[in-house]
Amino acid sequence: MNISSIKPGASITATFLVGEAKVTEAKNGNEYLRAILRDKTGDSILAFYFSAPPEILAMNFTGKTVDINGKADEYQGSVNLKLNSIHPAVEQWDVTDSLPQADAPADEMTAELDRYIDEIKNEEIAAVIRAVLDDPAVAGNLERWPAAKSRHHAVVGGLLQHTLELLKLADTVCELYPEIDRDVLVAGCIIHDIGKIIELGVGAGFQYTAEGVMIGHIVLGDELVARACRAVDCSAETTMRLRHMVLSHHGEKEWGSPVVPSTAEAMALHHLDQVSSQIRQAIDAVERSAKRPDESGAGSWDRQRSRNWFVGKRGRGGSADSD
């Protein structure tokens, strides 16, 4: 059963993978199981097991494939499950099979990234980028890592997808503004979030690592770039320009950047990053809203973004141009 097909009020008997499960205490002091269940399409649903037997509360379900029985409910516009039973399934799935995937295959995205790197004319910058991607912490991971735990491009391969979106946007920026150093901007697009490979972990779900919590991807990425610059004996100014791309890409100190953009290329990178991340979040939010819009065409209240996303007739199964 796919989670997208679950309707409020339906009785559900199905197999899912548990992305996360924990025992939580209710206001009355009773403990219950709270779990995020995933299907093989990458969709997820919140499930609750109230009055669960002690042996169920004692089990660690995270990362396990389970057989469940319960009833679908709706709360504040979101469908969830109230469980009657949960048990480990006989057949256990590969945990990454239940994680959402990037839109394009990994090999296609990698080939496209290689093309951009091959087009870098500055040999010094190209050497730094290759050294970053060959770093043991990075090599083999870029094509399967998410760009975030839950906000934008939170899918397997999402970091590479996000990177390629920036690179395609950079093509237009460089065409409009020939004063921009294309090699520096292309390099910045590739390395700006590279620290997320250390900041985030991939398992039954996406989670922050200890380094991610204590240091963060901007500083971790700067360390990767600085190490690569030393490895290829990069000049002092090029090293500074590339590190600045990583350190300033959030745009404002209150948004997490140690410094603000101080080159045209860094300013461009910051805004390209915003375009990719913000539009992707909007697209995902509209798609979620389209599953259950009201009669006006608006989706349920998005607490994270403090708005109702408008879906229109498309979300109710009609044509946007129909009367």
Whole-number Å distance between alpha carbons of 266 and 247: 9
Amino acid at 255: W
Class for the domain spanning 99-282: mainly alpha
Q: What are phi and psi of 230, to 5 degrees?
A: -65, -40
Find how far residue 68's CA is from the centre of its chain: 27
Average pLDDT over residues 202-206: 82
Q: Which two tokens stand for residue 307?
A: 């708005």
Higher-pLDDT residue of 296, 271: 271
Choosing among 3.40.640.10, 3.10.100.10, 3.40.50.300, 2.40.50.140, the CATH entry for 3-96 is 2.40.50.140
Orientation of helix 182-191 relative to helix 123-134, angle to 10° = 10
* pLDDT of 49 over the 80 cut: yes
- Tell me whether domains 3-96 and 99-282 share a fold: no
Q: How many CB atoms lie within 10 A of CB 87?
A: 13
* pLDDT of 53 over the 70 cut: yes
Average pLDDT, the chain: 91
Higher-pLDDT residue of 318, 73: 73
Average pLDDT over residues 208-220: 96
> What's the pTM?
0.79
Higher-pLDDT residue of 191, 320: 191
Query: What residue spans define the domains of the chain?
Result: 3-96, 99-282
The proportion of the chain whose per-residue pLDDT surpasses 90, expressed as a percent, equals 71
Whole-number Å distance between alpha carbons of 36 and 48: 9
pLDDT in tens, 71-122: 999 887 789 999 999 999 999 988 777 788 898 999 999 999 999 999 999 9
Whole-number Å distance between alpha carbons of 181 and 177: 9
* pLDDT of 164 over the 90 cut: yes
Q: What is the pLDDT of residue 292?
A: 65
Q: What is the pLDDT of residue 103?
A: 87
* pLDDT of 134 over the 60 cut: yes
* pLDDT of 294 over the 70 cut: no
* pLDDT of 315 over the 60 cut: no
pLDDT in tens, 268-293: 999 999 999 999 989 888 887 776 66
* pLDDT of 265 over the 80 cut: yes
